[in-house]
Amino acid sequence: MEIKKILCPVDFSEYSDEVVEYAGFLAKLLKARVVLIHVLDGLQGLDQFQILSLTPEEIARKMESEARDELEVMMEDIAKGVKAETVLRWGKPFVEIIREIKEKKIDLVVMGSHGRTGIPHLLIGSTAERVVRKSPCPVLVVRRGSREFLMP
């Protein structure tokens, strides 16, 4: 089996940089392409005053613009020596991630887990858990705790 395409879902938390680092390291090692994906799911990340002062269309455009900017910054970090592209989608994160896996024939997913436990985990579940259960390809779930990678 060859790994030629790696999907890396990001949520722009401080932890996303670690996950992108793993994906970039593996892509360099395997000479693979990285697809960074972010899924917009509702009004996350906007301040209350913005929601009250903007129309729904303006809110959506603002969210897309900010997400595209963040994806571009992440792509610049990973693109040193790695072919990379970005994807922005609207919807339920795990549904859109699975859709992207199938559409692009992804070979490996590298994603983070926020390690939710207890009642919230039982009631909601995590995006990573749902992707692991439904993905047609292997999924590497990266836990917190950065590691330094040294290329051979």
pLDDT for position 33:
96
Q: Which of 5, 7, 2, 4 is nearest to 127 (CA)?
A: 7
Structure tokens at 17: 């940089």
In tens, the pLDDT along 49-103 reads 455 667 778 888 888 999 999 999 888 877 677 899 999 999 999 999 999 999 9
Query: In the chain, where are the structural domains located?
Result: 5-142
Structure tokens at 4: 């030629």
pTM score: 0.82
What are φ and ψ of residue 69, in 5° steps? -60, -45
Give percent above pLDDT 70 in the chain: 79
The Cβ-side half-sphere exposure at 32, using a 13 Å CA radius, reads 25
pLDDT for position 80:
74
Q: In whole angstroms, what is the distance from residue 19 CA to residue 34 CA?
A: 12
Q: What is the mean pLDDT of the chain?
A: 83
Strands annotated E in 28-138: 33-40, 84-90, 108-112
User: Residue 54: beta bridge partners?
Assistant: none
Out of 1.10.3720.10, 3.20.20.80, 3.40.50.620, 3.30.70.20, the CATH code matching 5-142 is: 3.40.50.620
